[in-house]
Structure 1
Amino acid sequence: MKKHLVWILLIGSINLTHAQMKFVKGQERSMQQILAEAKAKKQIIFVDVFTTWCGPCKWMDEHTFADARVSEKFNKQFINFKVDGDTSEGQVVRSLYKVGAYPTYLFIAPEGKVLHRIEGVMPPQVFMDEADFAVKRAKEN
């Protein structure tokens, strides 16, 4: 019985790991490094500017970013960068992109131009629709 429980827990944790968005964290790399990577890969950057004390930020982590459809789409289409607005790197991002509310989501072209900006909480499908809008704007430019 214990062996079965261990296998169930192991399989469940693998599925949870698979459904996670892959973020580069602000303490791991700088915005300038992310921009350089995006330029080299010709890929759009998705930036999640959050704070540790922000309830809506936590809700998005637990619900929208944990959704398998969202993580699959974002992991495939974007370089995902998550930065705490209260850190030194977060202050750089806040200043550079005029962030004044949490959570703020930025879709940034490889050259550094903001393609789309959204704020607040939204369910997975609405969030994916916003991402599609950003991709469409990138193609128009």
Structure 2
Amino acid sequence: MMKKLLLGLLLFLGALSVQAQEIRWMSLDEALARQKKNPKPIFMEVYTDWYSQCKMFETNTLQHPEVSEVINRNYYAVKFNAEGNSVVNYKGASFNNPNFDPNRKGRNSAHQLTSYLKVEGYPSIYILNRNGEVEEKATGFKTPEELLRFLK
């Protein structure tokens, strides 16, 4: 009886940990560096802080247990703020946001990388192949089912 109770508890705790799994985010620079040691594609979400579709995508799709499991298993995950002030090194060039205003509420100026990638809307998803080249992209909110189909 005690073994069954212990086994049930372990299975329950295991199920909780799968549900609570979060995507392991990193910067694009970190992902590109890791690709050199262990090649695998990069999943990059390009978002803004102010757009409700980005917030819904984060809450309803990216936090879905199956989505986070697929991304963590198969990709290096990059979360890129399209209006942030980070410096990004990509394809031999350095990109930043020279017009970034740290005191601005809401929309800010666009990061130079968004122009380079030809971002057409938010949220945007980019899949970079094992060589760091853009292989696929999608724009707009996706349900967990839609994103999983895109990733497979």
TM over 0.5: yes
The runs of at least 4 consecutive aligned structure 1 residues that moved more than 2 Å come to: 14-19, 31-34
SS of the residue 1:52 aligns to: coil
Bigger Rg, structure 1 or 2 = 2
1:113 and 2:133 are equivalent in the alignment:
yes
Correspondence for 1:129: 149
Deviation of 1:33 (Å): 3.6
Deviation of 1:37 (Å): 1.5
- Unpaired stretches in structure 2, ≥5 consecutive residues: 1-12, 87-95, 97-110
Correspondence for 2:119 among 79, 99, 102: 99
Name the structure with the higher helix share.
Answer: 1
State the identity as a percent. 22
Deviation of 1:60 (Å): 0.7
Correspondence for 2:25: 23
Task: State how 1:5-84 maps to structure 2 within 5 Å.
Answer: 15=17, 18-24=20-26, 29=27, 31-84=28-81
The one-letter code of the counterpart of 2:136 is: H
**Using the alignment, how far apart are the partners of 2:34 and 2:18 within structure 1?**
28
Deviation of 1:57 (Å): 0.5
**Using the alignment, how far apart are the partners of 1:96 and 1:108 within structure 2?**
14
CA contact (8 A) 2:43 2:75 kept: yes
CA contact (8 A) 2:31 2:77 kept: no
**Using the alignment, how far apart are the partners of 2:63 and 2:144 within structure 1?**
9
Cα separation, partners in 2 of 1:95 and 1:88, compared to 1, 3 Å: farther
**Using the alignment, how far apart are the partners of 1:122 and 1:41 within structure 2?**
29
Deviation of 1:111 (Å): 1.5
The count of corresponding residues between Structure 1 and Structure 2 is 115
CA contact (8 A) 2:19 2:65 kept: no
Range with greater deviation from structure 2 (34-43 or 109-118)? 34-43
Cα separation, partners in 2 of 1:129 and 1:44, compared to 1, 3 Å: same
